[in-house]
Structure 1
């Protein structure tokens, strides 16, 4: 006997900003499914997951979950407002007497339930959200970028936990190794269409290229047919006869079909040009220390970074990696010791918290409002590597369309926010690029 699905979406249609995101979408998640949900940034992956979680109201269609089935959802940026500690948040939906489940998960993820929300790092907050979802043990888990801001130890624990669970899950992640290790099916969101392949993420690129090649061949055949029919309609006397008007109308249908086809998104025109030559020394730290209250993060630390170096900072969440970056760039002052920067140094910073972005302002205003990008007397221009450029043209370099230019930043997906931050960070030709969880 066929098993009842855990979740079914039927005929889902959803429009954002006048543009259809999904139209007539239907999909099913079965018990035991391990699904990779993939697609370009802004394609609608997170929105689709929110529809699956029942958090986004659709224009048409139905979401069906059988009685007794629970669906748990971990979003990209969990909202912990209203909770004093990480443990308060993680245990908020647990029945009385079930706190031991949270304790087990907290041990595995190495997070402190007693930590105050106000002082928790991005990685610590995400571990609390993961602990909440895992402790609740739903029949279906929806995980949106669960490895973001997690340290290596936490990612390894989560991978081991998911690899042995019997719970079904749908997973969005940019960690290819994580997807390859865990998934057995793939949902591909591409220009409003969702395709399913009964195989994990391994091999997805080959499948995608095959689909696109078939699409290109079909488009080429359609173009040739339209060209031939258009030539007949213009040159052929018979085209003007009443009995041939059906063929003319068929040509109009072909042209409408061709114009409705959505072109594939290209690649971002990210330019990381070398700036003016700086001195050999880039950053030098001597015996620096930093503490917050009784918590010492850095003690007597020395570091010398020279031109051409590529340095990775690794360590568990909360040990002070971001704090160290802020000390080295001068954003924070050390309690002891000194930091000196090289001559003629331009530093571009991609920050973990995306604090540089104004979520309520538009993409346009975020660029033109930046004092280093503003062009005096030209409200529609930004300064890019010493040359004025139209705001929309610069946004298109980072795969944003003209309609998005006036949209608020809060409407963007996590990946789109990252692209906008890159647009701000690489406006000049920096000698140093600092990437904090890009």
Structure 2
């Protein structure tokens, strides 16, 4: 599948570029499809097995994704992110639609759902690094921060729309209808991705990772070496890891337990999550509109540390309205720091390494950070929500300390 190249004269600001907007639309539709898919998978698993079995089915997709994502990054860099994204998205679509058809016709049980989760997680291991590597091929480096903000808005939109849409599908036609809805959403994203054009890499960026030029193992080692030796990427990965480890536990299982402890109920937890989503959406919109934030490294650290403090304060909020206000602040600060980390990763990485670098960041966020959830739940059972939120905030704040103490990251700037 040959890549369609962008004529040099066609490069414009990302938020006005139809090529970038097609990619954002495709990415957003695919993310909404993912949200519907996981809701349908959870519902179908609960209907076909015990709670423990349903938990295993819904979690099993994370295993191949975490184990194979580094290899997926190599594939994206060797064969080009555009064709890898299109191919993997088409496989995702076909798999989900096939399962929907089987569920309409018969009741195969949990084995089919477990197989679907494994296949989906395996394909995601290739899809996610390629998605991360594609923006650098559809616009110039000075526009990558704006694209990161637009991508953040797409994620917020998917979070708001995906769950209700999946619930509607289940209500109308059961799990089969919800799976069909997810498959159709992903299907619409495929032709949009096909229409996206990519730019040709300049000679100084195109000499690494081409298919056939070296072994996949050497490509993988080269990508890891690129991160380790880079004055910005090395400390940035540590900051991302610490920030995610300190953030994921409290804002997932910790918030559920906090809402139960305070008597806020499910609706109160929904308000707090809505506050967080609002703050994160504002941060993404800010970056999408401005396109560039000066002193990017300092801003990243300056957002992580007060955001961590706000996480700790959330556990001691005197009432639900105050908690919602703090959640907005947490979302704004952590959303800003997350968007800045993503923008720095995009702009500091040599384009030919982006698939592998995105894969490493993805393993940190999707493979390591979720481990904090059962640990947070167990710790809250022993010490309560307040102390655990404080410890999590300290871990998160350490990411900001790393950003301040690493000269390369502290002085990092986004391209003009």
Q: TM-score range by the shorter chain?
A: under 0.3
Structure ranking higher on relative contact order (CA contacts 8 Å, 6+ apart):
2
Largest Rg, 1 or 2: 1
Determine which structure has the larger strand proportion and give its number.
1
What TM-score do you get using the length of structure 2 for normalisation? 0.25
- Using the size of structure 1 for normalisation, the TM-score is 0.25
More helix by percentage: 2
